[in-house]
Amino acid sequence: MKNFHKCKGFTLIELMLVITIILILMGFLVPKVSAYQEKARNAKAVNTAKQIETAAMASYGNNDSKFDGSDVTTTVQQLTSAKNVSVSSASDQSINIAYMSDDKNYSVEINANDSTYIVKYGDKQIFPKN
């Protein structure tokens, strides 16, 4: 009669196989996580732009329906969490405001005539979607 001794535990091949499968699955997940992080950054930037638009329109209402660049900058800094706010161009009915969100430079173009705003990252429009 043969004496079989059964060892408990995993063999080296089984462990390597499990590790390989885990690494392959992680390879699929990493790009998805990066895409979700970028969407979260854009959502935060759009939310900040909405705050800026609200503050700028409050300033617009206080200045006889005209945008005053220095007053808009002061109002935005007081009422929002935006960083490095600067007015790059302003007219009576529209204004372009640059700001930082997550260490990236964004801009928001506000048009008082039709009550709209456009958020851009560089030359790319992120809100509203085209």
Residue 18 in domain: yes
- Give pLDDT, residue 8: 75
Residue 5 in domain: no
Residue 4 in domain: no
Given pLDDT bands bounded at 50, 70 and 90, which one contains residue 9?
A: confident
Residues, the chain: 130
Report percent pLDDT > 90 for the chain: 74
Given pLDDT bands bounded at 50, 70 and 90, which one contains residue 5?
A: low
Residue 3 in domain: no
Q: How many domains does the chain have?
A: 1
Higher-pLDDT residue of 10, 123? 123
Residue 46 in domain: yes
Q: For residue range 51-94, what is the model confidence (pLDDT) as tens digits? A: 999 999 999 999 999 999 999 999 999 999 888 999 988 888 99
Residue 52 in domain: yes
Range of the domain at 106: 12-127
Residue 104 in domain: yes
3-state secondary structure the chain: CCCCCCCCCCCHHHHHHHHHHHHHHHHHHHHHHHHHHHHHHHHHHHHHHHHHHHHHHHHHHHCCCCCCHHHHHHHHHHHCCCEEEEEEEECCCEEEEEEEECCEEEEEEEECCCCEEEEEECCEEEECCC
Residue 25 in domain: yes
Report percent pLDDT > 70 for the chain: 94
